[in-house]
Structure 1
Amino acid sequence: MANLGLIYYMFLQGLEVDFKPILQARKKVWSIATARILVPLPLGYLLHKTLTPNSRPLKATTYGPFFWGITLTTTNFAELARVLANAKLLHSDIGRTALSASVINDLISSVLLLITVAIISDGKLYTVLSTLTLIILCVYGLRPVLSWMVRNTSFFDEKYDMDSQICFIMGGVLLFGFISDAFGSHSILGAFMLGAILPKGELKTAITEKVKDFV
């Protein structure tokens, strides 16, 4: 049950990813996002090495420093957007810069997390290569197909019940999780990527409202 909750949590995290700010980002945004990766990553690594005894060669102590570092690089885009909105800075130049940098930052940290999980799994080279292949296939292959389906398939018209569409997508989350798990990676990879490539809009809002409390 905990793993099921984690799969849907990562799916919701993927829903927050918007590729548009990444593709349109300026050099200033990329420099800020890079700094937000390069500074916390080694800091988290050193903190784990300092605070955690390494008396036994366990996976938790071997790979724990990487997870600590990646955790500190994550900014949580949704919470940052809420803070900026409350401060009435969401549509200012500072707000747009911060949000764009946060999207890039969270996407990179998520990819680092997924690759680290893949490395921990057995069959490291095969797992890493299949993980990267799945990410590229989702972004450049499935994302345009899903956008076309939402625009042109009658199933996603307003005449259909929104709950049926949400159930269809929730089943797809488990399918994508199964595929990534079959590749030797963690099931959260497929769930996250499905959330990231889904078209944003009314359907995304409805999914978030329905699934958030369950997660």
Structure 2
Amino acid sequence: MPAELALDLPAVSPLSHLFLMIALIMVACRAAGHLCRRLGQPPVIGEIMTGIALGPSLLGAVWPEGQRWLFPANLLPVINSLAQVGLVLFMFLVGYELNVAQVRSRGKVAALVSNVSVAVPMAGGILLAVAMYGRFADTGIGFPAFALFMALSMSITAFPVLARILTDRKMDRTPVGALALTCAAVDDITAWCLLALATALGHDTSLTGVAVTVALTAVFIFGMMYGLRPLLARLAERHADRLGEGITVLPLLLTGILLSSFATDWIGIHPIFGAFLFGAVVPRGAAQAAAVELMRGFTVVLLLPLFFTYSGLKTDFRLIGAEPGLWGWCAVIVAVATVTKWAGSTGAARVTGLGWQEALSLGALMNCRGLTELVVLGVGLELGIITPTVFAMLVVMTLVTTVLTAPALTLIDRIAAQRRSLPLKQGGRAVAR
């Protein structure tokens, strides 16, 4: 029996157990990511599903003793700490990959599409919050924090996953792909600003406390963009010959990431905001790019899977259970998230002059949530803004909207190809007659 097997497993030291946990997580996430890539899905889907499978929703339900042995409670804080370090480093990478020049060059179109693709889902999220607050919100959380968080969770687009999908489908250099990346970048900036506000509301119940946190956040952003950014650019230009290879720059980048994360945590918003903003202001150069690649391998292969697994360990679909009412709410959340994001993005794209195929494709891409959504949900659960039940329902929404992206793009392409070939076939019949 599984329980007897768990009891017979040899006792190991906490350090050895930690090594075993990390190795298991890394290999499982890697294998699941490879399988999803073969199925035409982004690898992040496999990594998310691995975390859920190793948590209470599957392994914990089938073999609770074995799940507790593999992930003992005394080591979970260690995994969480490593996961948070990986998350901070990853958000720096997202900020570094943000093409600010591209955002500016497509300013008008990107601004309209991205603002509408955020505003419409936020309105849907607020309506959801009105309906859900009395039943699903914690009594210690005020409605403004809960409503803002639900609105934010509906409006997110996952820039990293979107970039990976576009690259895999060779769409990253097409007009629609470039516009989608630009809009997603603007959405990312908006999302982190809103997350900062939601975090402030979650930390402080008084309007004065929230105002102070928001004011300090604005000062931090201004200082990073107009103080640190030009300073780093001048230093990089002046000492370009001394920077050498990436290994020389890596300690400097890591120090900046950690100090920026410390600053935003001290202000009262999540540390990932500081890491993301530091990545956006770091000057681009050969030495910096080499250092970023060194950081990327360690972060994506080792540390980031720990975040997925820890998120999975906190996700318990048994909280939704077999109750039709809860699954009904879950379906409503998925529907609101998908319809508002897709319709808002498509409608705005049509207003800017895009054809139906491009507009619908853009809407499908903007509906992809992936990792960014999980990051935000983890922050909301950590702050107590959402309950574990709401967290589980929003994870379902994240999985559905992310998995939907690639098949939706394929379906749109097929329908467009069939419509283009129809006049040719009709013309062929006319000639034959």
Q: For this structure pair, what is the TM-score category when the shorter chain's length is used for normalisation?
A: 0.7 to 0.9
Q: Check the 8 A contact 2:86/2:299 in 1, yes or no.
A: no
Identity percentage over the alignment?
27
Residue number in structure 2 paired with 1:59? 141
Q: Which residue of 2 aligns with 1:13?
A: 94
Q: Which residue of 1 aligns with 2:276?
A: 192
* Structure 2 Cα separation of the partners of residues 125 and 33 of structure 1: 26
Query: Structure 1: any 5+ residue segments left out of the alignment?
Result: none
**1:102 alignment counterpart:** 184
* Deviation for aligned residue 1:173: 1.6
Task: Provide the rounded CA distance (Å) in 2 between the counterparts of 1:60 and 1:168.
Answer: 41
Deviations 1:87-137 (A, max 9, x none): 222212212211111111111111111122123334222111011110111
Distance in 2 (CA, whole Å) between partners of 1:111 and 1:11 is: 15
Paired position in structure 1 for 2:292: 204
Task: Pick from 184, 203, 213 the counterpart of residue 121 of structure 1.
Answer: 203
Q: Against the structure 1 CA distance between its residues 210 and 199, is the aligned structure 2 distance closer, same or farther, given a 3 Å change threshold?
A: farther
- Looking at structure 2, the residues matched to 183 and 26 of structure 1 have their Cα atoms a distance apart, in angstroms, of 30
Aligned to 1:148: 234
Give the alignment partner of residue 93 of structure 1, picking from 150, 163, 175.
Answer: 175
Aligned to 2:165: 83
Change in 2 beyond 3 A, CA 1:169/1:117: same
Q: 1:18 to 1:7 in 2, by over 3 A?
A: same
Larger relative contact order (CA 8 Å, sep ≥ 6): 1
User: Secondary structure of 2:252's partner?
Assistant: helix
Tell me the equivalent position of 1:111. 193
Distance 1:155 1:197 in 2: 20
The answer (yes or no) to whether the contact 1:180–1:186 under 8 Å persists in 2 is yes
- 1:118–1:189 Cα change, 3 Å: farther
User: Per the alignment, in what secondary structure is the counterpart of residue 170 of structure 2?
Assistant: coil
Q: Note if 1:44 corresponds to 2:128.
A: no
* AA of the residue aligned to 1:25: R
Q: Secondary structure of the residue that 1:210 maps to in structure 2? A: helix
Amino acid at match of 2:297: E
Q: CA deviation at 1:18?
A: 2.3
In the alignment, the residues of structure 1 paired with residue 252 and residue 171 of structure 2 have an alpha-carbon distance, to the nearest angstrom, of 37
**Amino acid paired to 2:270:** H
Q: C-alpha displacement at 1:141, in angstroms?
A: 1.3
Letter in 1 for 2:295: I
1:5/1:211 CA distance change after superposition, 3 Å: closer
Structure with greater Cα Rg: 2
Task: List per-residue Cα deviations over 1:24-83 (Å, max 9, x = no partner).
Answer: 124222211111111111222333443451575322865233222212222112222222
Question: 2: distance between equivalents of 1:82 and 1:170?
Answer: 25
Change (3 A) 1:90 1:184: closer
* 1:135 maps onto 2:217 in alignment: no
- DSSP-derived class of the 2:223 partner: helix
SS of 2:269's partner is coil
Separation in 2 of the partners of 1:188 and 1:182? Answer: 12
Distance 1:174 1:66 in 2: 28
Higher percent of residues as helix: 2
Q: Equivalent residue for 1:69? A: 151
Is residue 170 from structure 1 mapped to residue 289 from structure 2 by the alignment? no
Match of 1:25 in 2: 106
SS in 2 for 1:127: helix
Indicate the SS of the match to 2:98: coil
Separation in structure 2 between the aligned mates of residue 60 and residue 16 of structure 1, nearest angstrom? 36
Instruction: Say if 1:200 and 1:27 are closer, same or farther in 2 by CA, change over 3 A.
Output: same
TM-score by length of structure 1 reads 0.84
Is the CA contact (8 Å cut-off) linking 2:91 and 2:276 kept in structure 1? Answer: yes
Q: Judge conservation of contact 2:96–2:280 (CA < 8 Å) in 1.
A: yes
TM-score (norm 2): 0.45
SS at match of 1:39: helix
* Runs (5+) with no aligned partner, structure 2: 1-80, 305-433
Q: Read off the aligned partner of 2:298 and give its amino acid letter.
A: K
Residues 79 and 60 (structure 1), Cα distance of their counterparts in 2 relative to 1, 3 Å cut: farther
Inter-partner Cα distance in structure 2 for 1:93 and 1:33: 16
Counterpart for residue 157 of structure 1? 244
